């Protein structure tokens, strides 16, 4: 019997994930795994001491797997949390698109059994690193730089490997990993990058130009973004969460960061099949 230690993370709507928690507990009893819940998850689901679970934990020591129940936001939180630790994330989609999810919710019971039995493959996901004078952040999906609400359009210059490439008046720009290229970048008209491709893509939010084009950047090159406004700062977000400001006249840098997170996939899963399933489904909804 397995003694796999598994951390459980869920989104903010416990009424949706509560039944799945019970299925997961059943799979843990069947496989001998131990489920770990932090204080917030314990409170959220009203859990009490039982066989095969540990409650109220604040440390991740010894965790071999994370099971995430939620949409892409929850999955990204789990991937960032375990970035660089060697702990894979097995994700069940309880959101809208769930492009990063391993299985959909209607496959949860079978998915839990396979996850706790170790019947999955691991996909290494790169990240992108954001740096400015105030700190360092890692994104698994994307970094967005955008004008503050109510301010004028942003005036952004961008250079790669020390060479200025262009200057654009726009609402902002997005820097996306291959995993994140199907999100904000795709909405900007940027290219989809297959998982396994090294590098990142830069696309623009509502550019006031006919010549602003998306650009795929080589993994060894550093992107520098300069806020050319003399008065107004811009905001930077990491995977949709506020990170920092770029002061008027300030700069920040973005670089490729290889092998940051591990995403569990069922054997036989392909990027192109996932792309067809997720976006084909969206196209059929009217």
Q: Which residues are catalytic?
A: 72
Question: Following CA atoms 142, 145, 149, 153 in sequence, which dihedral angle do they give, to the nearest 10 degrees?
Answer: -130
Concatenate the DSSP letters of all residues of 168-203 into one string. EEESEEEEE-TGGGGTHHHHTTPPP--TT--SEEEE
Closest-CA residue to 92 (of 241, 268, 275, 263): 263
Backbone angles phi, psi at 254, to 5 degrees: -130, 135
**Residue linked to tokens 């591990």:** 262
Backbone angles phi, psi at 22, to 5 degrees: -65, -40
Q: What angle do CA 68, 219, 161 make, to 5 degrees?
A: 135
Paired strand residues for 259: none
- Burial per residue of 56-68, b for 16 or more beta-carbon CB atoms within 10 angstroms, e otherwise: eeeeeeebbbbbb
Residues 6+ apart with CB under 8 A from 150: none
194 half-sphere exposure, CB direction, 13 A CA radius: 7
User: Is the sign of the CA dihedral 132, 238, 180, 92 positive or negative?
Assistant: positive
């Amino acid at each position: 019997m397995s003694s796999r230690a598994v951390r459980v993370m869920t989104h903010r709507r416990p009424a949706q994930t509560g039944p799945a928690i019970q299925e997961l507990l059943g799979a843990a009893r069947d496989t001998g795994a131990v489920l770990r819940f932090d204080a917030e998850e314990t409170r959220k689901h009203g859990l009490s001491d039982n066989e095969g679970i540990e409650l109220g934990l604040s440390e991740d020591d010894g965790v071999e797997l994370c099971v995430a129940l939620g949409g892409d936001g929850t999955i990204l939180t789990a991937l960032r949390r375990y970035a660089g630790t060697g702990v894979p994330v097995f994700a069940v989609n309880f959101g809208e698109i769930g492009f990063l999810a391993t299985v959909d919710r209607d496959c949860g019971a079978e998915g839990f059994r396979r996850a706790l039995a170790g019947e999955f493959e691991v996909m290494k996901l790169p990240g992108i690193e954001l740096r400015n004078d105030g700190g360092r952040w890692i994104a698994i999906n994307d970094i967005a730089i955008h004008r503050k609400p109510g301010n004028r359009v942003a005036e952004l210059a961008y250079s790669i490997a020390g060479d200025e490439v262009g200057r654009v008046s726009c609402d902002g720009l997005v820097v996306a990993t291959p995993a994140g290229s199907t999100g904000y970048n795709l909405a900007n008209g940027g290219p989809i990058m297959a998982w396994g491709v090294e590098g990142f893509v830069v696309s623009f939010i509502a550019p006031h130009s006919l010549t602003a084009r998306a650009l795929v950047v080589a993994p060894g090159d550093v992107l520098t973004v300069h806020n050319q406004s003399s008065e107004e700062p811009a905001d930077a977000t990491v995977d949709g969460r506020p990170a920092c400001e770029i002061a008027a006249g300030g700069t920040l840098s973005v670089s490729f960061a290889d092998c940051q997170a591990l995403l569990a996939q069922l054997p036989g899963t392909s990027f192109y099949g996932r792309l067809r399933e997720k976006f084909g489904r969206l196209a059929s909804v009217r």
